[in-house]
Structures are given as structure tokens and as C-alpha cells.
Chains A and B, each alone.
Chain A
Amino acid sequence: MELIQVTNLVKKFGSFTAVDGISFSVKQGESFGLLGPNGAGKSSTMRIIGATSQRTSGDVKILGNDPEIHGPQIRAHLGVVPQQDNLDEELTCAENLYIYGRYFGLPKKMVTEKLDELLEFAQLTEKKDAKVNSLSGGMKRRLTIARALVSDPDILMLDEPTTGLDPQARHILWDRLFRLKEKGVTLLITTHHMDEAEQLCDRLIVMDGGKIMAEGSPAGLIKEYSSKEVLEVRFGSDRNMQMVDKLKNLTDRIEVLPDRLLMYTESGEELLARISGLNIHPNTSLVRRSSLEDVFLRLTGRSLIE
């Protein structure tokens, strides 16, 4: 059962093409990611799926219906967490959740009964009657996510859910999203953090310049587009380039970043030993598993986070 079906979607703003003919579908209960750098067209895609922005061409079906024709009816099934928190800052946490439930037409009694549960989910029980403009960034983010859950959405859409949060706040959020996934909520997540995509997504598309570069599960993409391990070596910024020539025969793929070389290999330790054998000694070295960052680098020749 496809909850979201996107076919040849194009979105233009004037002469600028934000989304350039993408197609994908998301099944019920799936956690689907849109991974890409800022400006890749993720948010534009999200807004079209969220039935708040019109597409230029292509076909979109959400729950089998066209968002441009049945916008309000489709939105009744969605929970949306936008990139920027857009809470009503003058109102309290509880009031924000309450009025949002009312926007969905939920009865007053029903919304009131849900408040405590949602505040607990957002870990804001103590802040129930605090005005939103007194909250920290992480608290506002959690409140925005709790707000999106007030209507028990079938699809929860999160646009860069943890951007701007400190590591601890991110892990709390991930934990909350895992719980929702366990409950069977379909998640649609955009992110430019590959660790987030690896953590949360069953399947994802890698986007760049409005196009889909690759599609698959995080593990599948890593397997397809990268090696098992990566050896990162640093020789100092002026010597990195010189060393490429000496090292390039040791492995199939080397990426040169401003501060380090990435060498793709099935065994990092073994490769490092061979480098030492050549009497080459990097200033520092690190062996790690391949990540989606490496997939992105492979696909676009650019790093995801500059």
C-alpha cells in the first residue's frame, strides 16, 4: 500500500528549478528519508507532499488523492514538523497543543485529554503553562513535534528535525521518533545529517540539485556506492595533494578533502599497514566504517556538510 506516490515531480520558482523530475513512493509504516545538502529541493518536495504548495508538473498522490484537489482532506491525515518552528509564541505550551488540535476540528474534550500525554512525550510536563517564547531551542523543537502528533497523523513529515539542536537533544528526539515508528506511523524525513538518515530511515533517496542521485536502504546504498571501510589520513593541508600520487595505486578510490584524504578499502587496518610498509607516515590516521556521507561524496563529488 503506497501512502505517497510521486511521479516526475517538477517545481520551478520562476526560472529556477528546485525539484527536477523526481519519482519515488513510500509505503505504509515505512520510514523514508530525503537526504541532501541545503538547496537540493527537499523542502520544496515536502511542501508539495504536505499539500501546501503547488507543483509545476508531474503527478502526486497522497493516500490515493491529489493534494492540489483534496488539500484540506489530505492535510487532515498529516502531521507536519517544518524546518523552522512556527509555534504561537504568545501562548503557552499547553495552549499551542490545544489550539492545534482544534485546527484539526478535534472536540475540545478530546484535545484536553491528549495534552498531558503529548507534553510528556515532549518532556515538557513541567513547562505546561510556560509561554513558548521562554523555551530553549530544543524544547521548542520537541513541542513542534508533539504538536504534529495531536491529530494522530497517518504520515508524520519532519523537515530537518534536529538541525540546530545539541547532540543530547538530538538523541532524545531520535528516541521519540523511534517510538512512533514502532507504533506504525509512516515517517517522511528530510535531513542533511547522514547519521540521522542512517539512524532513522528504512529507505531513502539522495537528492542533489533537484534530482535523485540514488535510492535504497542506508546499508544498501553504502554497499553499492562505497567500500566496507574508510581510512582517513592527514598529512597536513599542503602535503595532502602530493601524497595522492604515491597512495593512489594502493586502493580503487581516494577522495581528497581540504583537510584529509579518504581511502576506500575493505580493510582499513590492512591498508594502513601497507602504507607504513612504503615508509609513509601520516600525521594522523583513522579507520571507520563507510557512511552515507561517503555515498554522497561518491555520487556528487561534494561533501554533504561543508
Chain B
Amino acid sequence: MSLVKTVNRKVSTTGFWYVVEARLRNMLKWTRIIIFVAIANPVLYLISIGIGVGSLIDGNSPVDGVNYLTFLAPALLASAAIQGMLDEVIFPTFQGFKWYKNFFAMNATPLTGRDIAGGVFFSALIRTVFTVSVYTITLYFFGALKSSKALLVVPTAILAGAGFGALILALAARAKSDDLFMMITGRFIMMPLFLFSGTFYPLEQMPVFLQWIGWISPLWHATDLGRLLTYGSDVSVEMVIVHLTYMLVMLVVGLFFAFRNYSKRLAK
């Protein structure tokens, strides 16, 4: 054996990618369920609410000038992106820090907290791209994509998921109780966002004192943007900039704190 004098082994600068590889291997164990959820989710929502509820509404007066399913579609797409992203950042975070503690094993290699957080985030993003793509194809078959720019709704929905996912990634890394955290994100964050983000009717129809929920919700920003893209809803250029900026800021701030919180918790 040679005499080791100093640290002379190369450390990869793209360590996060190895975490992505490991996460994808984990996800592949659930391939069938992931595919099933990706298809069943849009089909069930579009049939039950889009067509079912839509038949009640479309006979009277169209919402925002289009049939109800078309109005609803961008909101459902963005919420699927957010939900998918949350699942894939929350579970691995608790698994890694608490259940299997495998993040501590990763951290015993050259990988840093930043690599691990980045890897979890990026692999969640890959799953979300898949989910959103399947959803968008389904929307096409339901005739919910009316505009030539409709495909741009794919990146905007993913951006909403990424922004919110980054924020939740940061928070989950600090959470001690898995049950409590999931209950809070599920019931007190996701549920109100889903109901009050202009999902089922335009946000302006809400009383003003409740509209703020929509303004802080990435779901509303993505939904409003999505309506412009899928059927040409009336959204000003300024608002487009606001929507994109808001989600980008959320993404950047979320990742900053996720990197920090992951590193801190690993060093505890």
C-alpha cells in the first residue's frame, strides 16, 4: 500500500447527479404506481369536475368565455405539478434524515448537504416533468388546449411545482415530526391553496379579504399564466412578468434555504 501523504483524491463537482441516480433507482421501484397516478389523476379530475360539474355550468354562462373544462384545465395541471413535486421532496427528506437516515451515509462520502438537497430536488423535478407531460397529453385529448401557445403551459406548470417544491424541501429539512409536517402541508397548506387559488372560478370572484391566498399561491400564478397560454385568457404583460418573477424568486429562495437547512441538519 502506498503511503498516503495528503488528500489527493478527486472530488466531483457534480455530486448532486449521483444523488439523482440513486433517487431514480428508488422511483423505478414504484414505476407502475407512478405511471398509474400520472394517468388516473387527470382522467378522474377531468371527467368528474371538468365534464361533470362543467355540464351544470356550461349551459348557463361560460366562465372566462370558454367551457368549464378548458377553464379548469390549467389549474389542475399546475396543482398536479405542485402535488407531484411535494411528494417527491417530502418523502425522501424524511426517509433520508429520519426513517433510513441514508442522507448521513451519503454525507460520509464526498457529497455535501448541497449535493444531497440538489439531487433530491432535481430527481423530483424529473418525475414532475413526466407527470406534467402525461397530464398535458391527456388535456389535449379532452380538447382543453385551445391556443397555439398551449404547450408553453408545460414549463410554467413545472416552474410552479419547482418553486413551491424548493420551499417545502427547505422546510421539510427542518421538520422533526414527519406526521405533523405532512398533516400541515396537506391540510393547512395544499388544501387551501387548491381551493382558494382561482382554481374553480376566477380569483376576482372571491371576497377581497380572501384573495391574498391566491396572490401568495404559486398555484394561482401558474393557473393565471396557464389560462393565457391554453386559451388566450386576458392577462396583461405586466401580470405575466409578475407571475414568472414570483415563481422564480420562490425557486431561488427555496433552494437557498434548502441547501442551508440540509447542510445544517447533517452537521448536527
Q: Which residues of A contact B (CB under 8 A)?
A: 1, 3, 28-29, 50, 52-54, 63-65, 70-78, 80, 82, 84, 86-91, 95, 99-100, 102-105, 147, 151, 154, 183-185
Count chain B residues whose beta carbon lies closer than 8 angstroms to a beta carbon of A. 34
List 10 interface pairs A-B (beta carbons < 8 Å), by A numbering. A3-B4, A71-B112, A72-B15, A76-B110, A82-B105, A95-B25, A99-B21, A105-B10, A105-B15, A185-B1
Q: Mark B211-231, 1 if CB is under 8 A from A, else 0.
A: 000000000000000000000
The closest CB in chain B to the CB of A29 belongs to B1
Q: Among the listed B9, B101, B268, which residue makes an inter-chain contact with A84, where contact means beta carbons less than 8 Å apart?
A: B101
Given A80-B108, A86-B105, A53-B7 contact (CB < 8 Å): no
Let me know if A103 and B5 touch, CB within 8 A. Answer: no
How far, in angstroms, from A255 to B29 measured CA to CA in the complex? 58
Given A89-B100, A154-B4, A52-B267 contact (CB < 8 Å): yes
Q: Which residues in window 108-147 of B have CB below 8 A to A? A: 108-112
Q: Among the listed B5, B18, B25, B29, which residue makes an inter-chain contact with A105, where contact means beta carbons less than 8 Å apart?
A: B18
Any A CB within 8 A of the CB of B106? yes
What's the least CB distance linking A235 to chain B, in Å?
A: 47
- Apart from A87-B102, A99-B18, what are 8 other A-B pairs with CB-CB below 8 Å? A52-B266, A63-B7, A72-B112, A80-B108, A86-B105, A88-B105, A105-B11, A105-B110
How far, in angstroms, from A103 to B23 measured CA to CA in the complex? 12
Let me know if B26 and A63 touch, CB within 8 A. Answer: no
Let me know if B108 and A75 touch, CB within 8 A. Answer: yes
Given A90-B29, A183-B1, A52-B108 contact (CB < 8 Å): yes
Q: Among the listed B9, B18, B102, which residue makes an inter-chain contact with A77, where contact means beta carbons less than 8 Å apart?
A: B9
How far, in angstroms, from A90 to B106 measured CA to CA in the complex? 15
Q: Residues of B contacting A54 with CB < 8 Å?
A: 267
Any A CB within 8 A of the CB of B107? yes
Any A CB within 8 A of the CB of B3? yes
The closest CB in chain B to the CB of A98 belongs to B25
Let me know if B22 and A88 touch, CB within 8 A. Answer: yes
The closest CB in chain B to the CB of A81 belongs to B108
Tell me the dominant secondary structure on chain B's binding face: loop
How far, in angstroms, from A54 to B267 measured CA to CA in the complex? 7
The closest CB in chain A to the CB of B19 belongs to A103
How far, in angstroms, from A73 to B110 measured CA to CA in the complex? 6
What's the least CB distance linking B83 to chain A, in Å?
A: 21
How far, in angstroms, from A147 to B106 measured CA to CA in the complex? 11
Let me know if A73 and B1 touch, CB within 8 A. Answer: no
How far, in angstroms, from A3 to B9 measured CA to CA in the complex? 15
Let me know if B4 and A86 touch, CB within 8 A. Answer: no
Q: Residues of B contacting A95 with CB < 8 Å?
A: 25
Any A CB within 8 A of the CB of B12? yes
Q: Residues of B contacting A104 with CB < 8 Å?
A: 109-110
Any A CB within 8 A of the CB of B60? no
Question: Total A-B residue pairs with C-beta atoms closer than 8 Å?
Answer: 109
Any A CB within 8 A of the CB of B205? no
Any A CB within 8 A of the CB of B6? yes
Q: Residues of A contacting B6 with CB < 8 Å?
A: 63-65
The closest CB in chain A to the CB of B113 belongs to A52
Let me know if A78 and B7 touch, CB within 8 A. Answer: no
**Residue picked from B29, B100, B110, B268, most chain A C-beta under 10 Å:** B110
Any A CB within 8 A of the CB of B201? no
How far, in angstroms, from A2 to B34 measured CA to CA in the complex? 52
How far, in angstroms, from A105 to B105 measured CA to CA in the complex? 15
Q: Residues of B contacting A183 with CB < 8 Å?
A: 1
Q: Residues of A contacting B99 with CB < 8 Å?
A: 89
Given A64-B6, A88-B100, A99-B22, A82-B1 contact (CB < 8 Å): no
Given A52-B266, A82-B105, A151-B109, A103-B18 contact (CB < 8 Å): yes
Q: Residues of A contacting B26 with CB < 8 Å?
A: 88, 90-91
The closest CB in chain B to the CB of A184 belongs to B1
What's the least CB distance linking B100 to chain A, in Å?
A: 5
The closest CB in chain A to the CB of B29 belongs to A90
What's the least CB distance linking B219 to chain A, in Å?
A: 30
Let me know if A76 and B7 touch, CB within 8 A. Answer: yes
Given A82-B105, A87-B102, A103-B15 contact (CB < 8 Å): yes
How far, in angstroms, from A182 to B18 measured CA to CA in the complex? 32
Q: Which residues in window 14-50 of B have CB below 8 A to A? A: 15, 18-19, 21-22, 25-26, 29
Any A CB within 8 A of the CB of B104? yes
Q: Among the listed A3, A65, A100, which residue makes an inter-chain contact with B109, where contact means beta carbons less than 8 Å apart?
A: A100
How far, in angstroms, from A102 to B105 measured CA to CA in the complex? 13
What's the least CB distance linking A128 to chain B, in Å?
A: 15
Q: Among the listed B7, B102, B105, which residue makes an inter-chain contact with A65, where contact means beta carbons less than 8 Å apart?
A: B7
Q: Residues of A contacting B11 with CB < 8 Å?
A: 72-73, 76, 105
How far, in angstroms, from A88 to B11 measured CA to CA in the complex? 23
How far, in angstroms, from A86 to B26 measured CA to CA in the complex? 15
The closest CB in chain A to the CB of B30 belongs to A90
The closest CB in chain A to the CB of B1 belongs to A184
